[in-house]
Structure 1
Amino acid sequence: MKKIYFVLLLLSISSFSQEIALVKYSGGGDWYANPTSLPNLIKYCNSNINTTINIKPATVEPGSPDLFSYPFIHMTGHGNVAFSDAEISNLNKYMAAGGFLHIDDNYGMDQYIRKEIKKIFPNNPLIEIPANHLIFQKPYLFSSGLPKIHEHEGKRPQAYGIFIENRLVLLYTFECDLGDGWEDAEVHNDPVAVREKALKMGANIISYIFNN
């Protein structure tokens, strides 16, 4: 019965194959940070990797049944994150059913989000994703893995993941700040080359979700 339930959820996700959403979480963190990042990433993907994603991303709460309408959901922010038991259960079912969660630390989220990830997947440790993983290979090659977009503490960028049966279901990008690189140029005044690098890595994430 459980397997049938997950198959039905997976079919629900696949029927909305070109929609993405921003996660509105509780705890006090600024889930709404980087308001121009997802729209810019969507425009870039639609122009460069042949997606047809709705230009305006949805907003979804982690405990909502609407979560299953989106194959890709994105979280960002600088502060605290707190999931309820119902939200933890819903997120676990969502990813087990084929959904994908990208968490991008906008600086300050790390100490909180790791605890919440552990609650969602108590038996699946976060592991660093190697540079030869498919998500870094196409359509754009990142031979050294996750690119560095913004400096915070001078640490190297790291991409962590949760895998279910060898399938990457959760990507946590740390000391990178991809979302800042996706924002409008005037927000952070990043050089064109830096923004392009961030958008290409974002396109790799989207491509991985829609094609694997």
Structure 2
Amino acid sequence: MLVLIFSLASNAQEIALLKYNGGGDWYANPTALPNLIKFCNDNIHTVINSKPATVTPGSSAIFQYPFVHMTGHGNVIFNDHEVTNLRNYLLSGGFLHIDDNYGMKPYLLKELKKLFPNKTLQEISTNHLIFSTAYQFPNGLPKIHEHDGLPPQALGFFEGDRLILLFTFESDLGDGWEDAAIHNDPEEVRSRALKMGANIIKYAFID
């Protein structure tokens, strides 16, 4: 199996957005990743290409990226080949961040069960490294947008001690990464979202 080795010290770094099937709007929040990249390059010494790539779950190209981001509001479907390829990507060193943009969870959970039938999504402890790699979040995942009045949750799949998949729910980090004029979030809220995003990026690159 191909083993991926990534580092913050790499001369060239790239991240990617996951284009999935099922009808969900995988392309939601178009300014989110470019803004997060700029924040990371300016503040945590990454040198990420300013334009994120787009990859599909079944492509060999996914193995080029230490961090893949997935978002949307609706349906998600992984076929058998995509399940196998995505599983291999994660087990060989890749990292997938899934940010529920509201309404994605019921569709996503059945696909995650196909991806790792023997794993259970675990609530990530507030003392996990992902909450302190660059910025301190002692209370865990920040709340960026209100939807159903539920607390934000950071859930994940682990392989040994390594977090390989992060699912952020009832937080809406991606909305907080978008251009300020899109959601009119206060700067303090956008800052929290970007700082948490930087933590996720840094964890994915150095773990």
CA contact (8 A) 1:29 1:79 kept: yes
1:114-153 alignment runs, 5 A limit: 114-153=109-148
Task: Tell me how far apart the structure 2 counterparts of residues 17 and 208 of structure 1 sit (CA, whole Å).
Answer: 17
Q: What does the per-residue CA deviation read over 1:61-93, in whole Å, with 9 as the maximum and x for residues that have no partner?
A: 110000101010000000000000000000000
In structure 1, stretches of 5+ residues that fail to align are none
Match of 1:6 among 2, 22, 46: 2
Is 1:202 equivalent to 2:206 in the alignment?
no
CA contact (8 A) 1:95 1:101 kept: yes
Secondary structure of 1:142's counterpart equals coil
Secondary structure of 1:6's counterpart equals coil
CA contact (8 A) 2:11 2:47 kept: no
- What percentage of residue pairs aligned between the two structures are identical? 67
Match of 2:163 among 168, 172, 177: 168
Match of 1:84 among 52, 58, 79: 79
Aligned residue for 1:20?
A: 15
Change (3 A) 1:31 1:139: same
Alignment TM-score, normalising by the size of structure 2:
0.96
Task: Tell me how far apart the structure 2 counterparts of residues 157 and 93 of structure 1 sit (CA, whole Å).
Answer: 29
CA contact (8 A) 2:13 2:48 kept: yes
Task: Tell me how far apart the structure 1 counterparts of residues 59 and 171 of structure 2 sit (CA, whole Å).
Answer: 29
Alignment TM-score, normalising by the size of structure 1:
0.94
In structure 2, stretches of 5+ residues that fail to align are none
Task: Tell me how far apart the structure 1 counterparts of residues 11 and 126 of structure 2 sit (CA, whole Å).
Answer: 30
Q: What does the per-residue CA deviation read over 1:33-67, in whole Å, with 9 as the maximum and x for residues that have no partner?
A: 00000000000000000000000000001100001
Is 1:111 equivalent to 2:106 in the alignment?
yes
CA contact (8 A) 1:21 1:72 kept: yes
Q: Which amino acid aligns with 1:87?
A: E
Secondary structure of 2:113's counterpart equals helix
CA RMSD of aligned residues (A): 1.3
CA shift at 1:138, angstroms? Answer: 2.5
